[in-house]
Amino acid sequence: ENVPDKHREAIERYRKANKAFLESIGRHDLVARLAEGRTGDVQVGEAVMPYFSRVKHLAKEPVLVYPTLPLWRAWDCGGTPSCVWMQPLGPDRMAGLNIIGSRVAMNAGLEGFILNDVLAFQQKYGLMPRTPGTKAGWGKGPRGGFTYFDVGDPSMLHEGKTVKAEITAALLVNQLLHTAFQPGPVEWAARRESGHSIFQRGGRGDRIAFVQMDPEENDTLIKGFAGRFRYPRTNAGKVTMTIEAAKSVSGIFAQPTDACLYGFARLYPVLDWLRQHNAQAAPRVPRRRPKSFLGA
């Protein structure tokens, strides 16, 4: 409080210079912590999703869930099963995307994860699926609830890869949750490009960004997108930008973020859209006949 004005001005110039330098080299994590005094994650390596922003993509309060719109569960499995609940908005899914919550379990079986974590989350917030009722039309009949779609790592379709050999992870999800699992894209570029694209999209109306994430139910997922899910960088500055390299150094933060990216790629297949656009034939322009023997 007793700092002279000239010193305050010098400190402010120094802060702005530091902020400009850190932004110029892409260290937005340090901008948040050192220049702006905000809580953030120090980035070790190269963030897989550099366009994620806590300011833009974290909702100021718990996100709304609309009973008339389907819910999507996005999965990654293996020894660290993960599930992300999301809800695309609007009839064309283009009004925004709410990430409602996420769960991840370390060194856990898929069956226990579904029974202890997935169902518990849905019961906690009343996100129960719609029940069809009886075929003959008698009894309790159908009950209202949410329509669910499930998408995730294609390896969940392969026997013996993620759960006991006699049943696949996808079949276990189908049996326990009465759903129909859809495999996401195998190609890493498809998931990566969908993530890059939708984190850069602006929001409609009062939405600051296309993606809004619940700030209370996505702790590990938020940290992953904020830089804990990263590509390794050597001391010489070389970055290995493969999904295998990222998972090898990111620990528990890799699974829920990659699960989320499977959902992004299924809902917003940006790479497929780009390929379709590039495959379209260029418009034909009639050649102008030359007016002289020189071709002019």
Specify whether the backbone of 3 is left (phi greater than 0), alpha (psi in -120 to 50) or beta. Answer: beta
Per-residue pLDDT of the chain (296 residues; tens, 9 = 90+): 565 766 667 767 777 777 666 554 445 555 555 666 655 555 567 999 999 999 999 999 999 999 999 999 999 998 899 999 999 999 999 999 999 999 999 989 999 999 999 999 999 999 999 876 555 544 454 457 999 999 999 999 985 555 555 689 999 999 999 999 999 999 999 999 999 999 999 999 889 999 999 999 999 999 999 999 999 998 888 999 999 999 999 999 999 999 999 999 999 999 988 888 777 655 666 666 656 555 55
Sign of CA dihedral 28, 205, 121, 174: negative
DSSP letter (8 states) at residue 157: G
CA–CA separation, 161 and 12 (whole Å): 56
Specify whether the backbone of 200 is left (phi greater than 0), alpha (psi in -120 to 50) or beta. Answer: alpha
- CA neighbor of 193 nearest in space, from 51, 30, 53, 40: 51
Angle between helices 270-279 and 188-200 (to 10 degrees): 100
- Specify burial of residue 167 (Cβ count, 10 A radius: 0-12, 13-18, 19+): middle
Taking the C-alpha atoms of 114, 118, 119 and 123 in order, what is their torsion angle to the nearest 10 degrees? 170
* Phi–psi pair at 16, nearest 5 degrees: -65, -40
* Phi–psi pair at 199, nearest 5 degrees: -75, -15
Tokens describing residue 106: 């370390």
